[in-house]
Structure 1
Amino acid sequence: MTQTVAYKILTGEQLSRLLAEGTFAGAPVDLADGYIHMSTADQAQGTLDKHFAGQDDLHVAAVDLAAMGSAVKWEVSRGGALFPHIYAHLPLSAVIVHGPVVRDADGALQLPR
């Protein structure tokens, strides 16, 4: 894949842990699956709506995939689409920007810049 940035949706607690510890081992689903689930910009809305519906205090971290090197694998997931998965802990140094989940007037996710 040619995309160089992927997104991780985090709870407030998970973001706090990443910021305090400088690394993130993953959410419970990530730990169970053995990799950190990520989404492209086009996939982030669907991930948010499907897996985080009704939750508050959510944040989005933009991750530099090049900084993760060979730990990034593109694998078939939801709907047969390729999703980026990180087979390593996510270091804070690979996070380009993060911010709270913000939706526009139409409910579309606004990614942090």
Structure 2
Amino acid sequence: MTTHHFIAASEAFLTREEPLEEVLRERARHYEETGRAIDFWLVPQPAFLEAPELAAATSAVPRPAAAVVSTDASFITFMKLRLEFVLRGQFEAPSATIPDPLASLVASASAASQVPSQASL
């Protein structure tokens, strides 16, 4: 199992009210310049928020939600400080209750967007 760190908030807050796109684009550019593999993803309506072990903490996140998930705890700490009004947490996956850490509840989305490959960025 791998520890995944995340920030979560309402989808509207993360995608329209905050400069998330700019922050993720800059981070992706930095990773490309330094030859580092992408280890963060923007997940619309993340399924892991519904896991029983996260229910108490994530119940305050307005739905529909979105999350930035990463295996890099420092990046998520930076995102929490940068965006402020988001929930920060972590979980272990794959597990019985979270088989896919990047799964989305959106019917048409089978997995999270790998930010640098998004045409809109």
Task: Bin the TM-score by the shorter chain.
Answer: 0.3 to 0.5
Length-normalised TM-score, structure 2: 0.39
Structure with the bigger percentage of strand: 1
Length-normalised TM-score, structure 1: 0.40
Higher relative contact order (CA 8 A, sep 6+): 2
